[in-house]
Amino acid sequence: MTKLKGKVIWITGASSGIGEALTYELAKRGNKLILSSRRKEELERVKGNCPAQAQADIRTLPLDLSKPDTLQLSAEAAIQLFGHVDVLVNNGGISQRSLAKDTILDVDRRVMEVDYFGQIALTKNLIPHFIKRKQGHYVTITSITGKVGTPYRTGYSAAKHALHGFFDALRAELWNESPAIYVTLVCPGWIRTNVSINALVGDGSKNEKMDPTTAAGLPPEVLAKKMVRAIEAKKNEVYIAGMKETTAVYLKRLFPNLLARIIRKAQVR
């Protein structure tokens, strides 16, 4: 319970879902938290739901990941709030629920802008800070679809795969700057959040439906507890998912042709 105590942890996408659950878990552990998303009122709601004794060490910092040119100022503001940042949790993002043939290119661009370019913009803006302090920790929430592409997720899966490539390479680069700068990739499976309701469909509108697989997924509170353990253990990569999703990762590695046949018929929505 003490490994992260007192650390300054910046969480994007903190106004709902995984980010909200992670906020509550970390608030119980004596962390200094910076909560970010587009919706300030929702950030304040999440802060208000934290234990009263923890709220003095929680700050809200609204930002928009779809506007990467503004994120340098966001990083500077985050550092000023507590004097430094120990951990950045890249969690904000949007999903997709449409076939490639039915999806306009603007949807792919929007998903990539938020889920990839927004994340790496924040990350790059903190690199000088981490190098100067010779320590830091990037925690990036990708997805099992960042390892295994499925139908109805072409743009989303592409963005999550891109995050793996970027952060695997960054981990190697930063080790040469300081072995105390860590990169952890967290790959959830189906998690019981509103991600499918807010997902984009082919014309760019919201899906407005809860996937049965999402509704039957792990509670976000369970994911948050396991994420904290992975962060404390400084794992390079962790899969937090049900048996089906986790098995798919290993099938992709060992028996890719078999997985390709299975994925064709997978019920993913």
Please give the C-alpha separations between residue 65 and each of 39, 128, 170, 224, 238, in angstroms, as whole numbers.
Answer: 12, 20, 20, 22, 24
C-alpha span between 171 and 77 (Å, rounded):
25
22 closest CA partner among 220, 160, 217: 220
> In the numeric block, which tokens belong to residue 196?
């499918």
Cβ(263)–Cβ(148) under 8 Å? Answer: yes
* Residue 116 is among the residues annotated as catalytic for this protein: no
Among residues 152, 156, 182, 239, the one annotated as catalytic is 156
Token pair belonging to 136: 């830091």
Annotated catalytic sites, by residue?
156
